[in-house]
Each structure stands twice: as structure tokens, then as C-alpha cells.
């Protein structure tokens, strides 16, 4: 908890929670970073990039790049509200393992996700019954919200080189 | 002993659509998908004793019989009235409990159920591999094309009627009641316009 | 009253449906055009145990009874009536004769192979001058020592080209006719004096062959008499009762295929600004088809149940055969009408169904004979 406060000591005002983006070793999901950036801006929260390719998120929208440690240790330390994954095999593995460790459901694979700033809830839209029905799902009261996104449904990446990016080591 | 994880799926050929309610209803019973049938065929090919594990409702007996007709020696049906609402979290908890209880060292699961496979791995400590990587203790993901599932013969079906389906209630597994509740809320549904 | 099929029967039906959808329907048109069943199809049916569904487990069958057999025939006929016909000729006719009337020694000798489909059977009753008048058999059986010598000709013997056993009926005494004058025999392929004629060319069921069978001083050992000497007519008629119900079940399958396709087409095809299913003329046709199919199902499965309970059901089998075969003709006709010009084309299966259906009113006893059977039963009982 104290590390979290120390980190925020850099800012004039503390930012609650955070949006974490898991970037697996496969194709870099810059669109996922972009989506995370949208969520972070909507919530006034930091955007953390974590995973084997986290460093590459610098310049694409992340505020903090996390190095070292496990996903679980990051979540326990920084208590993000949202963790975003894409639906690649490597990411689903991490999402599933984290979900099992924390006792959380995965929302997805979603073709669309949006965050409501007033409730800070992500609403994920999932196709069911062979595509005949769409379900809107949320994580309810449970945190963190673990969202898995279909890769082809991610927004286009956008360079964000003017942002100050900090590196965090766990 | 090989355990094959069987997840009942909606029969997409037997759905009703309610425009007024904006949702799809499942008219018939759930079925076994072709990828799971391939997993059973793979298990049968590997030899030894094959046990099927279904997390479903009491209506899923037909799936159990299908598994037996395809070659499983025995099936455990862990039933719960709300099983259709269970997500990967709950299913993995139940599956992990049953894997521990049965002592299974090799678990086969269709490759499309990646989330469940990795969750079970996390819960049991079994590593995840593919069928070709094979050795126990492991959870092996089986693709639909791995082993061509056979259509059970008439004799297989008749023999399946005599094989054992062990029925367990999900509530009786010793898991906390809270463990059977998914951590997600379906807020709304709507139909896809053709 | 529980009208539901057992879980076993439901699973079995589902299995046959899967086989038909995946492996039979894709080749059915070709089977008909080429006049033969696709290579491997009969072997697949054998692997799936379809040649022994009705026979008990103790001889290697599936033990699913007449109900299971009818379900199979219904499902097969969604796809290919020639395949259904070949299986029916073995299981419901030739093989059924051995199953019902063989003595213990014959049962041991033959039933395992018959139930497994390793040896196929055919049923040789009809002759050029003995169709409906089955008692007028001209094929003779003369006893010589420990053998019977058969001479004569049979026609339209389904499966004779592929069968390993011909269940044949011959006159041991032409003067006695049905009452002691006809004997049934198990004639093994390859024995001296048995000859199969050329493959036939006919209107429908073109992938299933019904050639002539010739007996030319054909020597059949004494131990191959099926049932008792002189009781062959009873054997023949007993077999036909079972065969009639399964034939009726086959009519249901084709009828349902026609109806399902017609509903689908009618919901998509538009004329005068709306789907043709909204036109009353089409609605009436669909309703008539559905009504008849419901009646067919009720007749067939009730009669099959009776047979599985070992109840006598000759009249019911005749009623089922008469009604179902007549109804099918009309149902296929309506399906073509609903599909319009497309229904007449070979791309759709209706023209094949139409041609295949016509013989149903003729074989296994013409529908005129069925009405005679029903009427005679009513006369005998003096009431329904």
C-alpha cells in the first residue's frame, strides 16, 4: 500500500485504481493499449502496461510500464480496477490463471467494451448462441474487472509519444 | 486413468428466438460438441480407463450416455440447477475438485476451452500441453481435427445404456456455496439483427 | 401412457441421423444416377451395426427390437431409399426369416454372421406367375435322399446380387398350395444350381438391385429347411408382417424430409409480395402433409410396439403398410408442387423420392392385398 502512495506522491493529486494492460509475448497488441488509454482517460486513472512486451507500450498510451514480478503480485500491490487482455493464447492463459488465483470471472472474449465513469464499471459485449445474441456483462461488485478483448475488435493504435512514462519494478 | 472434461453446449439447431424479450432460448437439451468428441476419441486411443466429467444439469444425462457410447468407461455428472450460468471460474473449481478426488493424472479437454484448461491447471498444478506433447501429469488440449471421432455403433449405444453414470450434486462436493457463484453479471441481452 | 422413446432408442436414432446427414445424403443423388451404392457405404452401415439392429444381443445384434429397426429405417429414408431398401431386405425379410424360424442348429450356424452383416440375406418369394398370388409358386422342391432339389425362377429379389443367403420358397406339393404345399429353404450362395440373373433397370430404388434368381437342379441339404416342410407359406407371411412395418417407417422418413424442405422453401420463396408460406394454398398443403405424417408415425410406432410385446399384429401391419405407402405418394407430390419448377429438377431430391416411392404400393404385398388382409381379418373377427 505504501509503495502505491509513494508512486502517486509524484502527482499533485492521487489517482484512484488504475487500468492495467497485459501484453503477451506474441504480436504486440497496441490496440489494447489504445483501449486501455480510453479507459484511463474516462476514469482519470493511470494506465499500466505489464507482461513480456510491456516496455513496448511506452509511446503508445501507457503511463506506467511494469517490469519484473508476476501479474498477481502487481495486482495485489497496485489494486487496478481493470485488467485488459486480448484473446491470444498467451494472454488468455494469463487471464485465466489470474482469474483463478483471485476468484474472478473473465468478461469476454468481447467484441466491444466501454467504461461508465459514474459507476466505473466496464460493460463488455459478448456474442453468444453462434452470434444470434449479444450479452452485456459486467463484473458487478467484484474487482479487479478482468476483460478479454477479441483482437480484431480493438481500436487502431495511436502513437502517444508526448506522454511521460514511468517504469515500475516489482 | 484419463479424465475427459465435457462441457455441455447449446444445440444451435434447437433455439427459439423471442423478439419481444430480445433474447434466445434453448428449446432442447444441451449437446456435446465435436471437439469434445475428438477429445474422447483421443482418450480412447490412448487406452486405459477413460472417465468423463460433465458439469451440467440433470438434463445432461443424454450427453453422458453419448460419451459412454463413444467409449468412455464411466461418466461423472456433477449437476446443479444453475449450471448453465456457470462460467469458467466455477467450472474449473468443480473440475479441480473432481480431479483431486479421482486422482486423474491426465486430463483431456478440447482446445477451444482454453480458459477452463488454464484455470484447472492453476487450481491443480497440472501443466498444460497439447496432445502431441503428451505425458502425465498434464492437461492436454485436443483440437477438433486431432482424432476423428467415430459415430458410435448400435452396439456401442446399447452397451452405453449399461455403463455407469455417477451422479453428484455440485452442492455436495464440499466447496463453499460462494464458490459456485460466477463473478459476473449479465446486464442485458439483445438479438443480432440479420 | 408413456409415448416417449427410451433414451437408448433416442440415442440410436440420433446416431443414424448423424450417419445419414454426414455420409449418406452427400452421395444419395450419385447413387441413384450411377445405379449403385457408393463404395464403402454398405461397409459403414455394417460397422455401425445397422444390419443387426432388430436381432437380440445374444446373437450379436443390438437388441433394439422392431421399434429400433423402424427408427433406423425412418432415418435412413431421409437420405437414400436404396440403402434403406437393401438393409430392409436383409434385416426385415431374408435375415428375419432365419431369426424367426430357424432351429437351434441353424441359429448357431448363421445368426452371428447375419446379425453382424457379414452375411447378407435376401427373400425370394415372387415369381413371374406368383406375385400377389404367392401360393401359385412354380418353383419346385423335390426330395432326393438327404437333399431337396429346387428348380424355378424368382423375380425382383432385392439384394440377391450381394446376399450370401437366399431365403427361398418352393412348392413341395403344388396341389396343397398354402396348406402344406410350400417349404422355405436357406440357400447358401455358391451351392450348385443357384444362379443370380442380370442387374435390373427400374424406375426407382436404382442403387438397390433386384435381379432374378434361378434354381437349376439346385441341391439344398435337408438341414437347410427353414421351419417345417410344408409350412413355408406361414413362414413367408410371418416375415412379411415385420417387413411391412419397417417399410412403412421408411415412408415416414422420406415424408418428413419432404415436409421439412417444403417448410423451409415456403418460408423463403416469395410471390405476390410475400413468402409463399403465407398463402393459404400452401398452408393447406403443409397442414395435410403434417397430418398424414402424424398418422403414419402413430400407426407405425404403435404397431412396432405391439410386435415388440410379441402381440399378433398382422392386420395392423397391413393397415400401416397400406396407409403409409399411399400417403407418401401424395406427400412427395405436394412437395414438388410447393417447390414449383425447382421441385421437378434433379438438383433437388424430390424427383428421386417420387420415383423411389412408387414401388412401395406394390412390393411386400400390393396395397390391394393389404386391403384383402384387413377385410379378411374383419370378417374373421366379425368386428373391429
CB within 8 Å of B188: residues ≥ 6 apart = A135, A136, B22
Asked whether this complex has an ipTM greater than 0.90, the answer is yes
The per-residue pLDDT for range C347-375, each reduced to its tens digit, is 999 999 999 999 999 999 999 999 999 99
How, if at all, do strands A121-128 and A47-50 pair?
Answer: unpaired
Q: What angle do CA A131, A132, A134 make, to 5 degrees?
A: 75
Q: Does domain C234-381 have CATH number 3.40.50.80?
A: no
Q: Using one digit for the tens of pLDDT, what is the confidence trace for A50-90?
A: 999 998 888 899 999 999 889 999 999 999 999 999 999 89
Instruction: Tell me: cis bond preceding A144? Omega within 30 of 0 counts.
Output: yes
The pLDDT of residue A7 is above 60: no
**At residue B100, what are phi and psi to the nearest 5 degrees?**
-65, -45
Cell of C337: 408442387
Q: Is C248 helix (H, G, I), strand (E, B) or coil?
A: helix
- Judge residue A162's burial from the number of C-beta atoms within 10 Å of its C-beta, 0-12 exposed, 13-18 middle, 19 or more buried: exposed
Would you call B192 and A127 a contact, using CB atoms and an 8 Å cutoff?
yes
Q: How confident is the model at residue C290 (pLDDT cuts 50, 70, 90)?
A: very high
Position C202 scores a pLDDT of 95
Mutation target vs C (from B59, B65, B149, B155; most C CBs, 10 A cutoff): B155
Q: Residue C161: its pLDDT value, please?
A: 95
What average pLDDT does range C57-78 have in this prediction? 97
Note whether B158 contacts A: Cβ–Cβ < 8 A. Answer: no
Q: Is the pLDDT of residue A6 over 50?
A: no
How far lies A168's CA from each of A77, B146, C313, in Å? 12, 44, 85
Catalytic residue of the set C66, C231, C316, C364: C364
A142, B21, C275 from A103: Cα distances, Å: 9, 32, 52
Q: What is the mean pLDDT of residues C113-138?
A: 94
Closest residue to C63, CB basis, from B151, B152, B158:
B158
Contact (CB, 8 A) for C77 and C250: yes
**Given CB atoms, is B165 within the 8 Å cutoff of chain C?**
no
Summarize pLDDT for B10-37 with one digit per residue, the tens. Answer: 999 899 999 888 899 999 899 999 999 9
Q: Which residues of A touch B121 (CB under 8 A)?
A: 97
Beta-bridge partner residues of B79: B56, B169
As a whole number of angstroms, the distance between CA B185 and CA C12 comes to 39
- Going along chain B from its start, the domains and CATH numbers come out as 2-179 (3.40.50.620)
Report chain B's mean pLDDT, rounded to a whole number.
93
Whether residue C91 lies in the annotated active site: no
CATH class of A2-153+164-169: alpha beta
Calpha distance A93→B179 (Å, rounded): 21
Statement: residue B79 has pLDDT above 70: yes
Q: CB count, 10 Å around CB of B100?
A: 12
Is the per-residue pLDDT at A3 higher than 70?
A: no
**What are the E-state strand segments in chain A?**
19-22, 47-50, 64-67, 82-86, 106-110, 112-116, 121-128, 133-138, 145-149, 166-169
- Phi first, then psi: give them for residue A9, nearest 5 degrees: -60, -20
Helix axes C232-268, C280-308, angle to 10 degrees: 150
**Contact between residue A83 and residue A70 where contact means Cβ atoms under 8 Å apart:** no
The pLDDT of residue C1 is 82
Chains A and B physically touch (3 or more Cβ atom pairs below 8 Å)? yes
Structure confidence by residue, pLDDT tens digits, B119-138? 999 999 999 998 877 677 89
Class of domain C7-119: mainly alpha
Q: What pLDDT is attached to residue C345?
A: 96
* Helices and strands in chain B, H and E counts: 5, 10
d(CA C215, CA C166) in angstroms, rounded, equals 11
Q: C145 in the Ramachandran plot: left (φ > 0), alpha (ψ -120 to 50) or beta?
A: left
| Residues B158, C62: C-beta atoms closer than 8 Å | yes
Measured between CB atoms, does B10 come within 8 Å of chain A? yes
Q: Which three cell numbers stand for residue C122?
A: 435376401
Chain B interface includes A132 (CB < 8 A):
yes
Contacts of C7 in chain B (CB under 8 A): 61-62, 65, 161
From C10, C15, C64, residue closest to B151, measured CB to CB: C15
User: Given a cut of 50, is residue C4 above it in pLDDT?
Assistant: yes
Q: What value does the mean pLDDT take over residues C164-186?
A: 95
Burial of C270 (0-12, 13-18, 19+ CB in 10 A): exposed
DSSP H/E element including C286: helix C280-308
CA C193 to chain centre: 27
Q: Which residue has the higher pLDDT, C3 or C272?
A: C272
Cell triple for residue A37? Answer: 488509454
Preceding peptide of B137 cis, ω within 30°: yes
Grid cell, residue B159, equals 452397451
Q: Please tell me the predicted confidence (pLDDT) of residue C243.
A: 92
Closest approach of B181 to chain C, Cα-based (Å): 32
Contact B161 C8 (CB under 8 A): yes
C-alpha cell at B178: 460462494
The answer to whether the CB of A140 falls within 8 A of the CB of B185 is yes
How far is the C-alpha of C341 from the C-alpha of B17, rounded, in Å?
A: 32
Where are the domains positioned within chain C?
7-119, 122-230, 234-381
Query: Please, which contacts does C331-335 make with residues 24 or more away whose CB atoms are closer than 8 Å?
Result: C331/C254, C331/C255, C331/C258, C331/C259, C331/C289, C331/C292, C331/C293, C332/C254, C332/C255, C332/C258, C332/C357, C334/C258, C334/C262, C334/C285, C334/C288, C334/C289, C335/C258, C335/C259, C335/C261, C335/C262, C335/C289
How many angstroms separate the Cα of B128 from the Cα of each of B2, B101, B103, B118, B131? 14, 19, 17, 7, 10
Average pLDDT over residues C309-319: 95
Strand partners, A148: A85
Share of chain B above pLDDT 70, in %: 99
Selected from 1.10.1670.40, 3.40.1080.10, 2.40.110.10, 3.40.50.300, the CATH number assigned to the domain covering C122-230 reads 2.40.110.10
- Domain positions in chain A are 2-153+164-169
Structure confidence at residue B133 (pLDDT): 77
Q: Do chains C and A touch (3 or more CB pairs under 8 A)?
A: no
In the sheet that B127-130 helps form, which strands lie side by side, from edge to edge? Answer: B127-130, B138-142, B106-110, B2-6, B50-56, B74-79, B164-169
Q: Is the pLDDT of residue A14 over 50?
A: no
Residue B110, burial from CB neighbour count under 10 angstroms (0-12, 13-18, 19+): buried
Window 8-47 of C, Cβ < 8 Å to B: 8, 10-12, 15, 18-19, 22, 47
| Angstrom distance (rounded) from CA C334 to CA C327 | 11
Nearest CA in chain C to B161: C8
B:C CB pairs within 8 Å:
48
CB contact under 8 A, A133 and B191: yes
Mean pLDDT estimate for chain A: 89
Q: How far is CA A114 from CA A110, A144, B112, in A?
A: 10, 15, 26
Query: Which residues in chain B touch residue A143, judged by CB atoms under 8 angstroms apart?
Result: none
The reply to whether residue A129 touches residue B184, judged by beta carbons under 8 angstroms, is: no
Closest listed residue to residue C68, CA positions, set C151, C8, C23: C8
Beta pairing partners, C152: C215
Band (pLDDT 50/70/90 cuts) for residue C274 is: very high
Q: Average pLDDT of chain C?
A: 96
Percent of chain C topping pLDDT 70: 100
Q: Please say if the pLDDT value at position C314 is more than 80.
A: yes
Please report which confidence band the pLDDT of residue B81 belongs to, taking 50, 70 and 90 as the band edges.
very high
Amino acid at each position: 500500500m505504501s509503495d502505491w502512495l509513494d508512486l502517486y506522491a509524484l502527482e499533485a493529486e492521487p489517482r484512484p485504481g488504475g487500468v492495467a494492460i497485459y501484453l503477451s509475448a506474441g504480436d504486440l497488441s497496441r490496440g489494447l493499449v489504445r483501449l486501455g488509454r480510453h479507459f484511463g482517460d474516462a476514469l482519470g486513472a493511470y494506465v499500466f502496461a505489464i507482461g513480456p512486451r510491456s516496455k513496448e507500450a511506452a509511446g503508445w498510451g501507457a503511463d506506467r510500464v511494469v517490469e519484473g514480478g508476476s501479474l498477481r503480485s502487481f495486482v495485489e500491490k497496485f489494486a487496478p480496477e481493470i485488467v485488459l487482455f486480448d484473446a491470444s493464447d498467451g494472454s488468455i492463459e494469463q487471464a485465466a490463471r489470474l482469474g483463478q488465483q483471485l476468484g474472478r470471472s473473465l468478461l469476454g472474449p468481447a467484441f466491444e467494451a466501454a467504461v461508465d465513469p459514474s459507476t466505473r464499471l466496464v460493460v463488455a459485449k459478448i456474442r453468444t448462441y453462434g452470434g444470434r445474441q449479444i450479452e452485456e456483462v459486467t463484473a458487478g461488485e467484484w474487482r479487479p474487472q478482468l476483460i478479454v478483448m477479441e483482437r480484431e475488435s480493438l481500436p487502431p493504435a495511436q502513437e502517444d509519444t508526448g506522454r511521460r512514462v514511468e517504469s515500475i519494478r516489482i | 486413468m484419463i479424465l475427459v472434461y465435457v462441457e455441455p453446449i447449446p444445440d444451435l439447431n434447437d433455439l427459439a428466438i423471442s423478439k419481444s424479450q430480445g433474447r434466445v432460448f434453448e428449446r432442447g437439451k444441451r449437446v456435446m460438441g465435436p471437439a469434445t468428441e475428438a477429445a474422447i476419441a483421443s482418450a480412447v486411443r490412448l487406452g486405459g480407463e477413460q472417465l468423463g466429467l460433465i458439469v451440467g444439469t440433470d438434463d445432461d444425462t443424454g450427453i453422458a450416455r453419448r460419451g459412454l457410447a463413444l467409449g468412455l468407461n464411466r461418466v461423472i455428472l456433477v449437476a446443479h440447477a444453475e449450471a448453465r450460468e456457470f462460467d469458467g471460474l466455477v467450472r474449473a473449481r468443480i473440475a479441480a475438485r473432481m480431479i483431486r478426488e479421482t486422482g486423474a493424472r491426465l486430463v483431456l479437454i478440447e482446445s477451444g476451452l482454453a480458459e477452463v484448461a488454464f484455470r484447472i491447471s492453476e487450481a491443480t498444478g497440472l501443466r498444460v500441453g497439447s496432445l502431441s506433447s503428451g505425458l502425465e501429469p498434464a492437461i492436454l488440449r485436443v483440437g477438433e481435427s486431432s482424432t476423428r471421432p467415430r459415430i458410435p455403433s448400435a452396439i456401442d449405444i446399447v452397451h452405453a445404456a449399461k455403463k455407469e453414470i455417477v451422479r453428484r450434486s455440485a452442492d455436495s462436493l464440499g466447496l463453499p456455496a460462494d464458490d459456485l457463484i460466477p463473478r459476473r453479471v449479465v446486464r442485458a441481452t439483445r438479438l443480432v439483427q440479420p | 401412457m408413456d409415448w416417449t422413446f427410451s433414451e437408448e432408442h433416442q440415442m440410436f436414432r440420433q446416431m443414424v441421423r448423424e450417419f445419414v446427414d454426414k455420409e449418406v445424403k452427400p452421395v444419395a443423388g450419385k447413387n441413384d444416377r450411377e445405379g449403385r451404392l457408393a463404395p464403402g457405404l454398405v461397409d459403414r452401415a455394417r460397422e455401425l451395426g445397422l444390419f443387426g439392429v432388430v436381432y437380440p444381443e445374444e446373437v450379436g445384434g443390438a437388441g433394439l427390437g422392431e421399434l429400433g429397426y423402424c427408427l433406423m429405417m425412418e432415418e435412413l429414408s431421409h437420405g437414400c431409399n436404396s440403402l434403406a431398401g437393401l438393409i430392409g431386405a436383409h434385416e426385415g425379410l431374408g435375415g428375419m426369416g432365419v431369426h424367426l424360424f430357424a432351429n437351434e442348429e441353424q441359429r448357431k450356424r448363421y445368426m452371428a454372421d447375419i446379425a453382424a452383416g457379414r452375411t447378407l440375406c435376401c427373400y425370394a418369394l415372387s415369381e413371374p406367375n406368383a406375385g400377389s398370388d404367392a401360393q401359385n409358386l412354380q418353383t419346385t422342391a423335390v426330395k432326393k435322399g438327404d437333399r431337396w432339389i429346387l428348380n424355378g425362377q424368382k423375380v425382383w429379389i432385392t439384394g440377391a446380387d450381394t446376399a450370401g443367403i437366399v431365403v427361398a420358397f418352393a412348392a413341395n406339393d403344388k396341389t396343397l398350395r398354402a396348406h402344406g404345399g410350400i417349404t422355405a429353404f436357406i440357400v447358401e450362395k455358391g451351392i450348385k444350381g443357384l444362379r443370380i440373373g442380370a442387374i435390373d433397370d427400374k424406375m426407382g430404388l436404382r442403387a438397390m438391385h433386384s435381379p432374378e434368381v434361378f434354381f437349376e437342379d439346385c441341391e439344398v441339404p435337408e438341414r437347410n429347411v427353414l421351419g417345417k416342410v410344408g409350412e413355408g407359406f406361414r413362414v413367408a407371411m410371418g416375415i412379411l408382417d415385420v417387413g411391412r412395418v419397417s417399410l412403412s417407417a421408411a415412408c415416414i422418413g422420406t415424408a418428413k424430409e419432404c415436409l421439412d424442405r417444403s417448410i423451409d422453401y415456403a418460408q423463403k420463396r416469395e410471390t405476390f409480395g410475400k413468402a409463399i408460406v403465407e398463402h393459404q394454398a400452401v398452408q393447406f398443403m403443409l397442414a395435410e402433409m403434417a397430418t398424414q405424417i402424424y398418422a403414419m408415425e402413430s400407426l407405425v410406432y404403435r404397431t412396432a410396439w405391439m410386435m415388440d410385446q410379441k402381440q399378433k399384429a398382422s392386420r395392423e401391419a397391413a393397415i400401416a403398410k397400406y396407409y403409409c405407402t399411399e400417403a407418401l405418394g401424395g406427400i412427395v407430390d405436394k412437395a414438388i408442387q410447393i417447390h414449383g419448377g425447382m421441385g421437378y429438377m434433379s438438383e433437388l431430391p424430390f424427383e428421386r423420392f417420387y420415383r423411389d416411392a412408387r414401388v412401395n404400393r406394390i412390393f411386400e404385398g400390393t396395397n390391394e392385398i393389404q386391403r384383402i388382409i384387413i377385410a379378411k381379418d374383419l370378417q374373421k373377427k366379425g368386428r373391429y
